[in-house]
Structure 1
Amino acid sequence: MHMRLAATALSLAAALTVGAALPAAAATAATAATAPTVQDILDHLPDDVVAGALIRQDGVVATAGPVTGDAYLRIGSVTKVFTNTVVLQLVAEHRLDLDAPARRYVPRVLPRAYDRVTVRQLLDHTSGLPKPAPTPGPNDGPGWQLESVTPEDLLRASFAGATGTPPAPGSEQQYNGLNSFVLGLIVEKVTGHSFADELERRIIRPLGLSHTALPAADDPAIPSPHAEVYVDGQDVTEQSPYPWAEGGMISTAADLDRFLTALFRGRLLPPAQQRLVFAIPHVKSAADNTNCVGERACYSVGGLLRHQLPDGAYAWGKTGSRPGWDNGFFATRDLRHRVVYSLNPTGAGNDLPYITAVVDAALAG
């Protein structure tokens, strides 16, 4: 990591520590002097850990390294927020019952052992489903085909490989991509259309997200312009867009900004479901729950992560990664500040301090 950026990350950690120990007013004054700006971070990129960066802060775009502001991105698990929004729309239309067993809609997908898991618990990661099985890759054997891997295949393999006793549904929050695969299949079962078609009809076309799509499982291409991404020296720019409703979408910073703004302003959901976008279950967080700090759950029914800023305020958003891309969007609930970021990690180190620094810097004040 570049020495100045390492110092930036350390300054952020120190600011968080100060904020925990001091009254809010004093903490704000103390952190203001040490917290980096987005430009501070960009000024010291690229480096050995991050080859390129694209940051859209309150609608203004800045980049570092060989990436343009209109670049296409593989958004990874940011896809989950789109998936949850489609499901909540179906709930609003009374085509899905939020608290009904998920097996009511997809009995052949979930084993009977999970007959108490509800749609809500899939949305807020309290289902207790097992950890996902490893996703097959092109080096798994001769004749491997991208299109041969289906959501059902991954679910079957994950249930078959499950060990131990799962937590009771609704008892704890454990971030789990299997939830999104089941939700995507529920959407298809209830609507009679492909998940990609419903995504297009319900979100992409109404919002004019002309640079956003869910590619087919056998389409590894990404439109231009885009970053050329390398991990451990290997070009991974064109790869399988799998995993589908869990993390397969392609978009741009401008489109993600538009989607985030529309979601927060209630343009996609009626009031009852809009409240669920920010509703976090009152359960404990599993010990290895991604991104949750301490014992409290931090993911909402809408698929958003609640992130505490150095001044004590909360931001809401989602992270997402694919090899060569670490992306995300976050905003204050009132949209006073918002950020969409995309980093291109090289695999040479941990870029989490960069992400945290970018989000906190962009949403400060």
Structure 2
Amino acid sequence: MISLGVRLTGGVCAAVAVLSITGPAKAAPPTHDKALRSALDAIVATGQAGATVEVRRDGGVWRATSGRARVDRPAPPPRDGRFRAGSVTKTFTATVVLQLVAEGRIGLDDPVEHWLPGLVKGGAADITVRHLLNHTSGLPDPTDALIDDQGLPRDRWRTWRLTELARLSNRLPRAPYPPGTHYAYSNNDYILLGLIIGKATGHSFRTEITRRVLTPLHLHGTVLPGADPRLPSPHADGYATVRRDGRDVVYDMTLLNPTMAASAGEIVSTTADLNRFFAALLGGRLVRPDLLAQMTAETGGLGVETTTLGCGIRIHGHGGGIPGYLTVAFTSTDTRRQVALSINRNKPDDPSPAIMTFLNAAFC
């Protein structure tokens, strides 16, 4: 099943990058291109329609695509194409929350009940903003109420309000352990953070992410589309293949109402913009140093994920899935290497092992 959040084999998580993206980039060495090309093609060979990637390594940039933008046409995905980045949105949401913490408008240890009284069934006085950021709230994930067991939206065109999404979790049992004691990924955590941003600022999370992150960084290919089901051009189409009456049926999932994901997974972006965002974030341009350190902690990180590759290099970033698309965006600890990869899905085969092979080729 494709969920609004993605956990990749090997614990692909993310967080630190000081890479400065200024001026024209140099081409990467040809031998590097060959290894990356082979690994990128292997991702598509798992049954995906296509893939688009930007790798920044030691001052060079390698951009490439593989496969098709549409399953019924031979044209490749556009290198500068837009895509739904799913749960990579969480890092944008977390960035705004931590900016508000730095401004004294939100406290990391503020009870959720203080900000959203009565919204969480059973109360949220023992759940803090920090618990939401690091997925230790114990609150259930409402994704199964939004996406069926074959990865299709249950109500593709519905416009969801954040409070409606939050209340979906109230129908499910909470974890049997106290908040702050166990990690359990939940999109509901970031739906609640979207609401808290609204309470603290008087503006929607979309407005605040745009004002505080997208505009200052000139991320012109990145938008929070709200209820608009269209994907801006250029783009590759995304698909979901399911079994119906003993045969495979392919659904074009390019158009959908992304409010089902909202502050947990709504964002549309490009590979270049995601690399630029993580470079700015992890280079200290968006979040105060002490808060960035908490964001990128090996355990209990706030809105980022971290893993160590087989060669010993630690990478930081976030992954994201939404019907039709799968995204990973990661940076090495020394900030000299970055990868932003978008897959426009087709078959439901798990591409995670092939993605990990690509990340090892890019970072090691």
- When normalised by structure 1's length, the TM-score is 0.79
Q: Which residue of 1 aligns with 2:255?
A: 238
Q: Which residue of 2 aligns with 1:196?
A: 206
* 2:170 counterpart of 1:159: yes
Letter in 2 for 1:146: R
Summarize the Cα distance change of 1:309–1:45 in structure 2 as closer, same or farther, 3 Å threshold.
closer
Alignment partners' CA distance in 1, 2:323 and 2:121: 31
1:129-144 aligned within 5 A: 129-132=139-142, 134-136=144-146
8 Å CA contact retained: 2:318, 2:329: yes
Summarize the Cα distance change of 1:140–1:97 in structure 2 as closer, same or farther, 3 Å threshold.
closer
Q: Deviations over 1:139-174 (max 9, x none)?
A: 858xx9622x222112212112326x5320111111
1:40-79 aligned within 5 A: 40-44=38-42, 46-47=44-45, 49-58=47-56, 59-65=61-67, 66-79=76-89
Letter in 2 for 1:152: T
> Computing the radius of gyration over CA atoms, which structure comes out larger, 1 or 2?
1
Alignment partners' CA distance in 1, 2:353 and 2:306: 17
Letter in 1 for 2:132: L
Letter in 2 for 1:63: T
Following TM superposition, by how much is the alpha carbon of 1:267 offset from its aligned partner in structure 2, in angstroms? 0.2
Q: Which residue of 2 aligns with 1:98?
A: 108
Alignment partners' CA distance in 1, 2:173 and 2:162: 16
Following TM superposition, by how much is the alpha carbon of 1:223 offset from its aligned partner in structure 2, in angstroms? 0.5
Alignment partners' CA distance in 2, 1:324 and 1:358: 20
Alignment partners' CA distance in 2, 1:168 and 1:214: 34
Q: Which stretch of the first structure deviates more once superposed, 57-66 or 70-79?
A: 57-66
What SS is found at the alignment partner of 1:338? strand
What SS is found at the alignment partner of 1:114? coil
Following TM superposition, by how much is the alpha carbon of 1:214 offset from its aligned partner in structure 2, in angstroms? 0.7
* Larger RCO, structures 1/2 (Cα 8 Å, 6+ apart): 2
**Identity between Structure 1 and Structure 2 (%):** 37
Alignment partners' CA distance in 2, 1:157 and 1:44: 38
Q: Deviations over 1:96-139 (max 9, x none)?
A: 11112111111132234331001111101111112325344798
1:202-281 aligned within 5 A: 202-217=212-227, 219-232=228-241, 233-242=250-259, 243-281=261-299
Q: Deviations over 1:206-248 (max 9, x none)?
A: 100111111112x110001100222211111111213110000
8 Å CA contact retained: 2:44, 2:50: yes
Aligned length: 308
Structure 2 segments unaligned to the other structure (5+ residues): 1-8, 11-33, 68-75, 242-249
* 2:87 counterpart of 1:85: no
What SS is found at the alignment partner of 2:215? helix
- Tell me which protein shows more helix as a share of its residues: 1
